[in-house]
Structure 1
Amino acid sequence: MLFFTIWPLFALICLGYLLARSGFPDPGFWPAAERINYFLLFPALLVSSLANAPVRDPQVLRLGGAAVAIILFAALALALMRRFLPMPAARFGPLLQGTVRFNTYLGLAILTTLVGPVGIERAALYLAIAVPLVNVLSIMALTEAGQARTPLSMFATMARNPLILACLGGIALALTGWGLPFGTGRFLDVLAQASLPLGLLCVGAALQPATLHRDGLILAATGALRLLFMPLLAALMVRAVGLSGVEALVLIVFSAIPTAPTSYVLTRQLNGDGTLMAGIITSQTIAAIATIPLVLWVLGP
């Protein structure tokens, strides 16, 4: 039953892949669509969801703490593994991103399908905490010690991230109690409605099956870590901190979804192994069709 509830989301990803491979509507459309979603539509969704969110709710605070604990635990485990299995930053960066980053479009779409608007609201609070953290860890993993890892350079990179800026803006509105006056809430809601379907189509358009023939062992290991180990860790954390209801579901969903397609962009920008990163994204997205319903059936609250 759960599979039939969320299969339309994966159908959108498949449709995006087929449209892009057929050249429709135009090869230049998909990069432009991804940019407008990343810089405009998705930030609008985050701001509108966060503006009136219960940021001081104890359950929400526990959700944020649990998110930080899970991400840091996984990153530390990978860093320790690297000491015994040395690898350059160009390859360690994709491995870490494939474990701790998440496909925000798919996560929000699943939560919207399962629990409605309250799922987006709680998920936006999760993203406000997790997105800056995984970006910092990703930059550190992709760069050897040096100039690219100075606090100033990382701050400059974060300050250009529209998702982080949208999260900060939305939380500021929630903390001040100003909300979204003068009809801006409705304006942002209209923009936000286009974000998730367009985002899922773009996820499909970005898949690169040709990269799956290389580094099969790493792809399989990273997929197991991301799609199976991380949700299991989240389920244990749910019990440890006493999360329940929507907050528990948010933590498990964002731990069970595949890594973010934007990981490929960051990897290329920082001279990482782009082919490996593309393979991780593609393999996880395909495998998630089976693993997400299974994980939610076994571990869902």
Structure 2
Amino acid sequence: MLDLLLALWPLFALIIAGFYLRRWNFPNEEFWPGAERLNYFILFPALLFSSLARAPLNNPALPRLGLAVMLALAIGWVALLVIRRIRGWPAARFGVFTQGVLRFNTYLGLAAVGSLFGQQGLTLAAIMLALMVPTVNVLSVWSLTAERGVSARSLLLPIAKNPLILACLAGALINFSGIGLPFGSDRLLSLLAAASLPLGLLCVGAALRPEQLGGEIPALGWNSLARLLAMPLMAWLVAYALHLPAMESTVLVLFFALPTAPTAYVLTRHLGGDSQLMAGVITLQTLLAAASLPIILTLLS
């Protein structure tokens, strides 16, 4: 437990620092949107690209890990559809609950995996992201637009332009080609990647909205429990059923124990969902994850 706390507390310290820096208007309000864009389009793709370009992709457990990811997402999605049918949620709320249960904070996940397992863990995480990001994005958009319909182009075009997906695909292609990262490009990518996770965690903290926690307490509560407790338990059962090795199981469970993504707020507002409820879900899950994540990983170990 102590080792886990030592690995995780600096990550949450950066999140708290980001929250207070934005509250103190430092360096200024215009800094944070630009920092998020820089990270999303440049620094974070550099981390994913370099991780996959140099990774040994002959791990025999990788196909089972991919299957486990898709099974866990499918189980969570089917459960949400059943509950929606029973409760009659409109799309504006269903989209929030879907993102609260299925989306994940990528920056926190990669930072935690890197702290616990180093480069080997980052490789597994990058492979998982290549599967999870497009799947979760499609489900999120569909759930927010279920009542008015959405075209296949509207679902797939954002995925085709997603810099994280493109970085994963490009890194895998470079890996399989055997070209490698010549002429010092590996060092350049390492420098860019090193800046990504600290900046990402600061931006996560800057996006927190505690003032939104006074609203729908039951909805916020059950959605947080589903994401932070039920989903990692279900992921562990899937990993156990597929006989995943220890590190692959831990990385899988960790990603399903992460709080939802701050970018869910932007998508919810853009597609007409309940953005106030989404802001509350993001904030509560991020705060609770500081306690739930070490407990879950300790129980797993």
Give 2:104's aligned amino acid: F
1:267 alignment counterpart: 268
2:250 alignment counterpart: 249
Correspondence 1:105-116 to 2 at 5 A: 105-116=107-118
Correspondence 1:20-169 to 2 at 5 A: 20-144=22-146, 146=148, 148=150, 150-169=151-170
Give 1:81's aligned amino acid: I
Give TM-score, length-normalised by structure 2.
0.96
CA distance in 1 between counterparts of 2:15 and 2:289 reads 12
Q: 57-66 or 167-176, which moves further after superposition?
A: 167-176
- Cα deviation, residue 64, structure 1: 1.0
What is the SS of the residue equivalent to 1:181? coil
Q: Does 1:237 align with 2:238?
A: yes
Instruction: Please say if residues 147 and 153 of structure 1, whose CA atoms lie closer than 8 Å, have aligned partners that are also in contact.
Output: no
- Cα deviation, residue 105, structure 1: 0.6
Instruction: Please say if residues 250 and 300 of structure 2, whose CA atoms lie closer than 8 Å, have aligned partners that are also in contact.
Output: no
Give 2:259's aligned amino acid: P
Give 1:19's aligned amino acid: L
What is the SS of the residue equivalent to 1:224? helix
- Cα deviation, residue 248, structure 1: 1.3
Q: CA RMSD in A?
A: 1.3
Give 1:289's aligned amino acid: A
Q: 36-45 or 111-120, which moves further after superposition?
A: 111-120
2:219 alignment counterpart: 218
2:300 alignment counterpart: 299
- Cα deviation, residue 160, structure 1: 2.2
CA distance in 2 between counterparts of 1:271 and 1:165 reads 27
C-alpha change, 1:108 and 1:177, in structure 2 (3 Å) is same
CA distance in 2 between counterparts of 1:75 and 1:34 reads 28
C-alpha change, 1:17 and 1:83, in structure 2 (3 Å) is same
CA distance in 2 between counterparts of 1:175 and 1:265 reads 35
Residues 158-185 of structure 1, C-alpha deviation per residue, up to 9 Å, x if partnerless? 1221111111212222232333233222
- Cα deviation, residue 147, structure 1: 5.0
Instruction: Please say if residues 228 and 257 of structure 2, whose CA atoms lie closer than 8 Å, have aligned partners that are also in contact.
Output: yes
CA distance in 2 between counterparts of 1:252 and 1:57 reads 19
- Cα deviation, residue 146, structure 1: 4.8
* Structure 1 residue runs without a partner (length 5+): none
C-alpha change, 1:179 and 1:145, in structure 2 (3 Å) is farther
1:277 alignment counterpart: 278
CA distance in 2 between counterparts of 1:59 and 1:145 reads 40
Residues 57-115 of structure 1, C-alpha deviation per residue, up to 9 Å, x if partnerless? 32111111101110111011101111110111111111000101110111111111111
Give 1:225's aligned amino acid: A
Instruction: Give the fraction of aligned pairs with identical amino acids, expressed as a percent.
Output: 52
CA distance in 2 between counterparts of 1:216 and 1:5 reads 31
What is the SS of the residue equivalent to 2:61? helix
Instruction: Please say if residues 91 and 147 of structure 2, whose CA atoms lie closer than 8 Å, have aligned partners that are also in contact.
Output: no
Give 1:241's aligned amino acid: L
Give 2:279's aligned amino acid: A
CA distance in 1 between counterparts of 2:244 and 2:163 reads 29
Instruction: Please say if residues 55 and 125 of structure 1, whose CA atoms lie closer than 8 Å, have aligned partners that are also in contact.
Output: no
1:6 alignment counterpart: 8
Give TM-score, length-normalised by structure 1.
0.96
- Cα deviation, residue 244, structure 1: 1.3
CA distance in 2 between counterparts of 1:165 and 1:240 reads 31
CA distance in 2 between counterparts of 1:166 and 1:57 reads 21
Give 1:95's aligned amino acid: F
